[in-house]
């Protein structure tokens, strides 16, 4: 088999030797090692469409051992500093490359000010994108996220809000490509954006999906949960009717669940067992490879903190301001104490978890040396 672009990287060479084991290699290198973030990219990259997804990827048909799923997976190989250099031309560490940071108030309603909804609608209207990968709620199951290719303002509006359980957003990239979309915005958590950036800079021949993506929007993320948390804890234990929940939010040490006017606080430590395992080694709070990174920390209520990492993204914000769609207030690194703290906490935790994985995989005598 001829070497593909990604295989030519020295770092990846050893890993790719196992790709010919097909889906089994993805299971052994990523899924069984509890590294899977649930991004869904392997689902879209499979030429046979034999990868299904229920919290984790699953083989649902005959695998032809092409190895694409392992090669595209952002948790099999992702040299982050190198990728940041390739994406932006520099790799400063911390919260990543920053062209500007703003506190943004938007006219649209949505989580923490509705900025993402406004941004997508504006870009769609101006022809800067022709669709967006978002997550919406499954009509069959309350608060279960479902990836969606939105191509109208109405569909974008229907996807507003955060869900706090895994949505394999990148699984719909092939659908977007098949629809003929060429300027797609990918909205997701930093791990989704990792996958989109990897696709672009480490292309895998035969699994070409990067050409559909033109913009990435990352939503700040501390950690995520598997859907059974909502059913087991919120519904069965706390007696919350998920169908009546209007909003969820993570603030400080709590998951806040809003049912009409009432707010219920669930301590994050009490639902830790339902945290997605792959989140433990996640070292990115803002989304280092995104064009736009958006969240609520360090901005007043009903506003968003928005990091733009490129001149083009900064221009989009200015154009939105000119049209009266948003109010912008420029802020600096010193105005971001919570964001900087959370970035550092995630990095430290990821390093600790990664070291534990390395330790657990060492042969016995070396294991003791490490400790």
Binding site for ligand SF4 (CB under 6 A): 22-23, 26, 30-31, 36-42, 45-46, 48, 50-51, 57, 63-69, 73-75, 168, 189-191, 221, 223-224, 276, 278-279, 282
Between residues 88 and 289, which has the closer beta carbon with respect to ligand SF4? Answer: 289
How near is the Cβ of 322 to ligand SF4 at its closest, in Å?
Answer: 32
Q: Within a 13 Å sphere around the CA of 146, how many CA atoms are in the beta-carbon half?
A: 13
Q: Which is nearer to ligand SF4, 208 or 263 (CB)?
A: 208
* β-bridge mates for residue 291, sequence order: none
Per the rule left: phi > 0, alpha: psi between -120 and 50, beta: everything else, 203 is beta
CB of 288 to ligand SF4, least distance (A): 11
We find the least distance from the C-beta atom of residue 350 to ligand SF4, in angstroms, to be 9
Residues 6 or more apart from 223 whose CB is under 8 A from it?
268, 275, 276, 279, 282
Token pair belonging to 311: 């001149």
Dmax over CA atoms of the chain, in Å, equals 65
**From the CA atom positions of the chain, what is the Rg in Å?**
20
Q: Under DSSP, is residue 243 helix (H, G, I), strand (E, B) or coil?
A: helix
Work out how close the CB of 316 gets to ligand SF4 at its nearest, in angstroms, rounded to a whole number. 23
- 273 or 366: CB nearest ligand SF4: 273
Residue number, 122 or 220, with CB nearest to ligand SF4: 220
- Of the two residues 190 and 326, which places its CB atom closer to ligand SF4 in the complex? 190
At closest approach, how far in Å is the CB of 44 from ligand SF4? Answer: 9
Least distance to ligand SF4 from the beta carbon of 73, Å?
Answer: 3
Helix (H, G, I), strand (E, B) or coil at 367: helix
Of 40 and 145, nearer to ligand SF4 (C-beta) is 40
- What DSSP element (H or E) covers 100? strand 100-106
Distance CA 11, CA 14 (A): 7
CA-based end-to-end distance of the chain: 41
């Amino acid at each position: 088999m001829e070497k593909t672009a990604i295989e030519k990287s020295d770092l990846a060479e050893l890993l790719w030797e196992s790709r010919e084991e097909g889906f089994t290699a993805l299971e052994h290198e990523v899924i069984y090692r509890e590294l899977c973030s649930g991004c869904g990219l392997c689902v879209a990259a499979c030429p046979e469409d034999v990868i299904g997804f229920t919290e984790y990827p699953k083989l649902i048909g005959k695998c032809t051992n092409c190895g694409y799923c392992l090669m595209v997976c952002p948790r099999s190989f992702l040299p982050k500093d190198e990728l940041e250099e390739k994406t932006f031309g520099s790799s400063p560490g911390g919260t990543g490359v920053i062209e500007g940071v703003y506190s943004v108030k938007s006219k649209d309603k949505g989580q923490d000010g509705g900025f993402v909804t406004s941004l997508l609608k504006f870009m769609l209207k101006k022809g800067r994108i022709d669709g967006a990968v978002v997550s919406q709620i499954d009509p069959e199951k309350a608060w279960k996220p479902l990836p969606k290719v939105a191509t109208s303002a109405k569909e974008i509006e229907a996807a507003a809000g955060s869900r706090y359980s895994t949505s394999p957003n990148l699984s719909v990239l092939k659908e977007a490509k098949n629809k003929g979309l060429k300027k797609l915005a990918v909205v997701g958590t930093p791990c989704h954006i990792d996958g989109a950036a990897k696709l672009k800079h480490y292309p895998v021949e035969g699994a070409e999906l990067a050409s559909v993506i033109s913009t990435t929007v990352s939503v700040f993320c501390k950690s995520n949960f598997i859907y059974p948390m909502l059913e087991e804890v919120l519904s069965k234990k706390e007696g919350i009717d998920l169908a009546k929940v209007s909003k969820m939010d993570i603030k400080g040490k709590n998951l806040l669940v809003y049912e009409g006017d009432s707010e219920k606080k669930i301590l994050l430590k009490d639902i830790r067992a339902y945290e997605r395992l792959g989140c433990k080694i996640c070292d990115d709070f803002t989304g280092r490879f995104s064009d736009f990174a958006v969240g609520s920390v360090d901005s007043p209520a009903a506003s968003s903190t928005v990091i733009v990492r490129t001149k083009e993204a900064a221009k989009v914000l200015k154009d939105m301001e000119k049209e009266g769609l948003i109010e912008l207030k420029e802020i600096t690194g010193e105005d971001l104490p919570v964001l900087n703290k959370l970035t550092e906490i995630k990095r430290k935790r990821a390093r600790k978890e990664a070291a534990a994985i390395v330790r657990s995989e060492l042969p016995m005598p070396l294991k003791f040396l490490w400790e």
